[in-house]
Amino acid sequence: MKGILRIDRINVFYGDVQILWDVSLAVEKKEIVTVLGPNGSGKSTLLRTIVNLILPKKTGRSDGGIFYQGNRIDGLSPEETVRLGISIVPEGTRVFQEMNVLDNLRMGSYAKKAKEVREKTLKEVYALFPRLQERRFQKAKTLSGGERKMLTLGMALMSKPDLLLLDEPSLGLQPNFVTRMFQTIQEINQRGVAILLVEQNVHYALEISHRAYVLENGRMTLEGTGEELLNHQDIKKAYLAL
């Protein structure tokens, strides 16, 4: 199977310090895949590597790489990566503070293909997040934390991704917003967007995931379906406090 995303034994360093060791992972079309792991295990680094904000290094041990719809993508620029249809919602929120919600959303569809369908996509984003429509003329810096989170996700959707990388989308949200966020992720997925998710909310994440991986100290240590990992002894002990 070709898969929409295939990562083959990559090694990633910050300076001389190796963070990811022979990491492999696949996301098939229409899947939600979650990566779990303790703080500092390299989850965000993995997502940043996929969008070419960091480059994997040749180590001599591996001749692997990152493949998107069958084509090698490691080494492209982050902009080219977005143009191909991969979008990342990084940890925290990145919005243009002085711009209003609507202009922030429009900035999300800077690539030509996304721009052509911008107004239609905008309607879809407003349907997912009615709050953003209500607040469309409000400056981003005056939004609440949860609203800013919605805006960051909305901006990523405006680029019309086929693959969406989400780094802890539920972080800092109050419980009823968390539930809503996971529903929204599922809705986005059901519209045909493949999702690679990093989450601390392990239970929710596994419940909506087709498959999941565990990353520990920069190495993949466990892999299975969402259900298998939900019922796995090690996961229960380490992440679900059962």
Ligand X SMILES: Nc1ncnc2c1ncn2[C@@H]1O[C@H](COP(=O)(O)OP(=O)(O)OP(=O)(O)O)[C@@H](O)[C@H]1O
CB of 134 to Mg ion, least distance (A): 31
- By Cβ distance, which residue is nearest to Mg ion? 44
Nearer to ligand X, 122 or 168 (CB): 168
- CA angle 185/76/152 to nearest 5° reads 30
Segment interacting with Mg ion, rule: CB under 5 A, options 35-43, 133-141, 170-178, 215-223? 35-43
End-to-end CA distance of the chain: 36
- CA angle 231/201/21 to nearest 5° reads 80
Contact 38, 235 (CB under 8 A): no
Nearer to ligand X, 1 or 17 (CB): 17
Q: Is 93 in the site for Mg ion (CB under 5 A)?
A: no
Look at residue 42 and give the partner it binds from Mg ion, ligand X, none, a contact being a CB closer than 5 to 8 Å depending on partner kind: ligand X
Q: Is 41 in the site for Mg ion (CB under 5 A)?
A: no
Nearer to ligand X, 122 or 156 (CB): 156
Contacts with ligand X by CB under 6 A lie at 14, 19, 37, 39-45
Interface pick for Mg ion out of 11, 34, 41, 44 (rule CB under 5 A):
44
Count, residues near Mg ion per rule CB under 5 A: 2
- For 176, residues 6+ apart whose C-beta sits below 8 A from its C-beta are none
- Measured CA to CA, the distance from residue 226 to residue 155 in angstroms comes to 28
- Measured CA to CA, the distance from residue 193 to residue 164 in angstroms comes to 7
Chain contacts with Mg ion (rule: CB under 5 A): 43-44
